[in-house]
Amino acid sequence: MEHLETDERERMWEKVQEALLNDQIDQFRAEFLEMHPYDQASIFTDMDADVRRKVYMYLSPEEISEVMEHIDYEDVEPFFSEMDPRLASQVLADMSTDDAVDILNSLDKNKVASFLTIMDDNDSDEIKDLLHYEEKTAGSIMTTEFVVVKANQTVREAMLHLRREAPDAETIYYTYVIDEDKHLVGVISLRDLIIAEDEWLISEVMNERLVSVAVGEDQEEIARMFRDYDFLALPVVDFQNHLLGIITVDDVLDVMEEEANEDYSKLAGISDIDSPDDHAFASAKKRLPWLIILLFLGSLTASLIGRFEDTLDVVPILAIFIPLIAGMAGNTGTQALAVAVRGMATGEVDKQGKRKIIMREAATGLITGASCGVLATVIIFFWQQDIYLGLLVGLSIFATLVVATLAGSLVPLVMDRLNIDPAVASGPFITTINDIISVLIYFGMATAFMNLLT
């Protein structure tokens, strides 16, 4: 199955829709099932509810489950509401356990209870086991559909077991090895199994040097491990090293997207990223908390400027440079913030050391502050023919850029030390804080050197 281009998908959509409208079941199944599940999902989500009800009749629960696995789990609620509850429960049972859990976590709790009640006991028990794990941990994203062999089995026995279990497994590229007490003791690749002699014991060919992850480990740390070690799958264990499940690379790609969206929304000062389908009220609800906080901080900035009213009365021209200095401070603070947050997200901060990061940002602030300060001094001198005014603005820019750069790097590091998500040190927050700092520096220096300015 190939991934369709947009134009080709539209042509296929027209054929599928025509077959559905004309009740041509065989034609619909031939066209629809020929496509990649991603393209099936794209076409499925574009259908009207009445048309989708025919799809539920013409496809098996297993075929529908493949489509659902390629739709963002946060967007599937309307589709499960459309289905007959028995069909919905069967679709969930036919999905990979971890995908089913993600979907159930996004549904109303009453619907979840209903689906699990209708579902076969074995399937519901597997899902219930995963539902109780805390969100965004290894336990919440792992799957229990994997193949294990015992260390005392022969390669022949292991291969026979693998053939039986492979159809229901998430992946068979790695087969994990357990001992008699179900402790994880090794791993063997499919390649090693194929080339090993039939009579060899698994304990003789398995790799005992394997990396595992605790069931409570944060999903962001797991994503970094996949990146660093180039894993296709990673075993999840409890505190006694019992194998509980595995995490596969496709789950980690979803985690990376989720974490990136979450950090992006926080850096933008939004509690949660907006969806194109959100109503105006929902979007406003996500944005208002930070905006209200920033409103109060902005009022503090205005209050500070008011305290220097006498200085502005004497030298009114000072007012025209407030946006320049505040804007420069906000911009450089946001740049430093982005570097610090990215460094913590990728693990570079831990590798280089926080002190080294701070020293580098301090040096960067000195260089950029000195460069911009000198340039501003020269421009204002030729513009206003006032060397003291030029020096005041230049020195203020120098000082604010140094302080703002340090603030942009220190705030997320301090938040990380306090176990607070560094991304909440958002751009608007840093910008407003640096506005306050820049106003204090600028008017403090102006007041101190008032005699030279007048």
User: Which H or E element spans position 246?
Assistant: strand 243-248
pLDDT digits (tens, 9 = 90+) for 71-80: 887 788 889 9
C-alpha span between 13 and 36 (Å, rounded): 13
pLDDT digits (tens, 9 = 90+) for 297-316: 777 777 777 777 777 777 88
Estimate to the nearest angstrom the gap between the alpha carbon of 354 and the chain centroid: 23
C-alpha span between 331 and 218 (Å, rounded): 32
**Mean pLDDT over residues 411-430, rounded?**
70
Sign of CA dihedral 398, 399, 404, 410: positive
How many residues does the structure list for the chain?
454
Question: What is the predicted pLDDT for the residue at 251?
Answer: 85
Question: What is the predicted pLDDT for the residue at 2?
Answer: 47
Sign of CA dihedral 111, 112, 114, 119: positive
**Mean pLDDT over residues 371-392, rounded?**
90
Question: What is the predicted pLDDT for the residue at 1?
Answer: 46
Q: Which residues pair with 207 in a beta bridge?
A: 187
Question: What is the predicted pLDDT for the residue at 425?
Answer: 53
CB–CB of 436/304 below 8 Å? yes
**Mean pLDDT over residues 308-330, rounded?**
82
State what percent of residues in the chain have pLDDT above 90.
25
Q: Which of 146-160, 249-263, 274-288, 343-357 has the highest mean predicted lDDT (pLDDT)?
A: 146-160
Sign of CA dihedral 116, 121, 123, 127: positive
List the chain domain ranges.
6-136, 148-259, 280-453
Estimate to the nearest angstrom the gap between the alpha carbon of 445 and the chain centroid: 43
pLDDT digits (tens, 9 = 90+) for 248-298: 988 888 887 776 666 655 555 555 554 555 567 766 776 677 667 767 777
Question: What is the predicted pLDDT for the residue at 56?
Answer: 92
C-alpha span between 389 and 320 (Å, rounded): 12
pLDDT at residue 419 is higher than 80: no
pTM, 2 dp: 0.60
6-136: what fold?
A: MgtE N-terminal fold (1.25.60)
- Average model confidence (pLDDT) across the chain: 83
C-alpha span between 383 and 376 (Å, rounded): 10
**Residue entry with tokens 């974490």:** 259
Q: Which residues pair with 242 in a beta bridge?
A: 183
CA nearest to 213, candidates 142, 130, 304: 142
Question: What is the predicted pLDDT for the residue at 60?
Answer: 93
C-alpha span between 119 and 97 (Å, rounded): 13
In one letter, which amino acid is 242? Answer: H
Out of 41-55, 127-141, 369-383, 427-441, pick the least confident.
427-441
Question: What is the predicted pLDDT for the residue at 290?
Answer: 66
Q: Which of 85-89, 263-267, 383-387, 422-426 has the highest mean predicted lDDT (pLDDT)?
A: 85-89
Residue 312 corresponds to which tokens in the numbers above? 């502005």
User: Which H or E element spans position 237?
Assistant: strand 233-237
Residue 436 corresponds to which tokens in the numbers above? 């306050």
Q: Is 429 helix (H, G, I), strand (E, B) or coil?
A: helix
Question: What is the predicted pLDDT for the residue at 346?
Answer: 66
Which pLDDT band holds residue 317 (cuts at 50, 70, 90)? Answer: confident
In one letter, which amino acid is 389? Answer: L
- 1 or 363: which carries more pLDDT confidence? 363
Q: Is 63 helix (H, G, I), strand (E, B) or coil?
A: helix
**Mean pLDDT over residues 201-222, rounded?**
91
**Mean pLDDT over residues 320-330, rounded?**
84
C-alpha span between 325 and 323 (Å, rounded): 6
CB contact set of 259 (below 8 Å; sequence gap of 6+): 219, 220, 223, 345
Q: Kindly state which CATH superfamily the domain 280-453 is placed in.
A: SLC41 divalent cation transporters, integral membrane domain (1.10.357.20)
CB contact set of 292 (below 8 Å; sequence gap of 6+): none
User: Which of 154-174 are b and which e, b meaning 16 or more Cβ less than 10 Å from the residue's Cβ?
Assistant: bbeebbebbeebeeebbbbeb
Out of 343-352, 402-411, 426-435, pick the least confident.
343-352
State what percent of residues in the chain have pLDDT above 70.
87
Which pLDDT band holds residue 188 (cuts at 50, 70, 90)? Answer: very high
pLDDT digits (tens, 9 = 90+) for 362-373: 899 899 999 999
CB–CB of 73/40 below 8 Å? no
Task: Please report how the helices 427-448 and 280-307 are oriented relative to each other, as an axis angle in degrees rounded to 10.
Answer: 10
In one letter, which amino acid is 258? Answer: E
How is the beta sheet containing 174-178 ordered, strand by strand?
148-150, 174-178, 184-189
Q: Is 143 helix (H, G, I), strand (E, B) or coil?
A: strand
Which pLDDT band holds residue 349 (cuts at 50, 70, 90)? Answer: low
**Mean pLDDT over residues 79-108, rounded?**
88
148-259: what fold?
A: CBS-domain (3.10.580)
- Cα–Cα distances (Å) from 51 to 15, 19, 55, 59, 83, in that order, read 13, 11, 7, 13, 12
Q: Which segments within 142-232 are labelled E, that is strand?
A: 148-150, 174-178, 184-189, 213-214
pLDDT at residue 357 is higher than 60: yes
CB contact set of 375 (below 8 Å; sequence gap of 6+): 394
Task: Please report how the helices 121-131 and 109-118 are oriented relative to each other, as an axis angle in degrees rounded to 10.
Answer: 150
User: Which H or E element spans position 102?
Assistant: helix 97-106
Question: What is the predicted pLDDT for the residue at 236?
Answer: 94
